[in-house]
Structure 1
Amino acid sequence: MFFNFGMKNKTVKELRKDKMYTAKELAAKLNISTSLILKVDYLKLKDVPEPLKSSLIMFFED
């Protein structure tokens, strides 16, 4: 996936703020808990565990 190369080097919080979502709103869109979003907020997208990473990539690509 060459199209999201620059996206993987950003933190989840940076990507979330670029889309203008709070952690609570993002968790509601992905049907996961807010605490899980807050746990990975400061991780780079490439360091997020796989089941969550794939759903985040699909969400942030839109």
Structure 2
Amino acid sequence: MKPVFNNGGVCIFGFGLKNKTVKELRKNQGLTARELAQQAKVDTIDILRIDDVKVKDLSEPLKTKIMPILRGDYMDKIPW
């Protein structure tokens, strides 16, 4: 099975997300650092510190908090 890419060149299954920076993924979702921090329930300064860090280099507890938000998983739970 070939991986299916959306128009941004990022694999739908999330395989290409690890080499991107937090800032890139945050901007792709249209989130400010403050909004991401509120959704992940962390301080805004923590998000600003990791903005230029690649996702694969993040610590595991922080990665598990912000990855669903950066992937857009929270949008699946909105009752349309």
- The sequence identity of aligned pairs, in percent, is 50
- 1:29 and 2:45 equivalent? no
Structure with higher helix content: 1
Normalising by structure 2, report the TM-score. 0.70
- 1:7 and 2:17 equivalent? yes
> How many residues are paired up?
60
Q: Is the Cα contact below 8 Å between 2:22 and 2:52 reproduced in 1?
A: yes
Aligned CA RMSD, in angstroms, stands at 0.9
Task: Point out where structure 1 has 5 or more consecutive residues left out of the alignment.
Answer: none
Q: What's the offset of the Cα at 1:58?
A: 1.6
Normalising by structure 1, report the TM-score. 0.89
* Segments ≥4 residues shifted beyond 6 Å: none
CA radius of gyration, larger in: 2
